[in-house]
Amino acid sequence: MRLLKLFLVSLGLLAGMAAAQVPPAAPPPAPDPQNILHLELSTGGEVVILMRPDKAPASVERVRTLARAGFYDGVVFHRVIEGFMAQTGDPKGTGEGGSPLPDLKAEFNDLPHLRGVVSMARTDQPDTANSQFFICFQPTVRLDRKYTAFGRVTSGMQFVDAIKRGDPIDGRVADEPSKIVRVWIEADGRDAARVPLVIPAPAVAPPPAAEPAPAPEAPKPNP
């Protein structure tokens, strides 16, 4: 029995030595500052969103472009439903506006609509997301793979929770809605100069092909 105990103790010591020789796991890489969106809200603080270009590259690029142009600065949360979400991104403040850039193709993905997830708003047609987005107050699984989720709040969710609620039926905020004071990309810094939007020129249809001229008449013989 004494030999067995000594053997077990030796095994324990060897296992401990082996474990001590295993290097600790490397920490995950820091997020790319190009994909970190900052929202300064009128509710009193700053919201930080980690965007996911691996899931929705075109949507992330659109939000990044509009943020750098100052498009979202001063825009209100025009539709806010208790227990559901807060929607913004329309410079008209009605839900019917957007940016002058073309609508995006849907990028439905496997990111679940959990609390703090940020997703592109659209009409009842899938390829109509443009500039508007919403932040979920609570998990809303019925939106999964039907709306393009492109990020999630990593800090400042309390300032999202403080956004003024709208009508309990349609969510419209009639008076003094909460708003985005300023938006910036972490890589640029809060006070970076704004970059004007480059509006793509509308496609011009090629001119119709000219009809061939009629062939000249053959000269008539002299009588």
Query: Domains in the chain, ordered, with CATH?
Result: 33-185 (2.40.100.10)
Q: Which residues is 149 bridged to in the sheet? A: 119
Q: Is the pLDDT of residue 169 over 70?
A: yes
Q: Is the pLDDT of residue 220 over 60?
A: no
C-beta of residue 69 within 8 angstroms of C-beta of residue 195: yes
C-alpha 16 chain-centroid distance? 47
* Burial of residue 53 (number of CB atoms within 10 Å: 0-12, 13-18, 19+): middle
- Tell the residue number behind the tokens 């009629």, with chain if given: 214
C-beta of residue 49 within 8 angstroms of C-beta of residue 157: no
Distance between CA 20 and CA 10 in Å, rounded? 15
Q: Is the pLDDT of residue 29 over 90?
A: no
Distance between CA 112 and CA 173 in Å, rounded? 27
Other Cβ atoms within 10 Å of 131 Cβ, number: 24
Instruction: Please write the tens of the pLDDT for every residue from 173-207.
Output: 989 999 999 999 999 999 999 999 988 877 666 66
Instruction: Please write the tens of the pLDDT for every residue from 75-96.
Output: 999 999 999 999 999 999 999 9
The token pair that represents 85 in the structure block: 């979400």
Tell me which of 30-39, 102-111, 142-151, 205-214 is least confident: 205-214
Distance between CA 180 and CA 116 in Å, rounded? 16
CA atoms within 13 A on the CB side of 121: 21
What pLDDT shows up at residue 63? 98
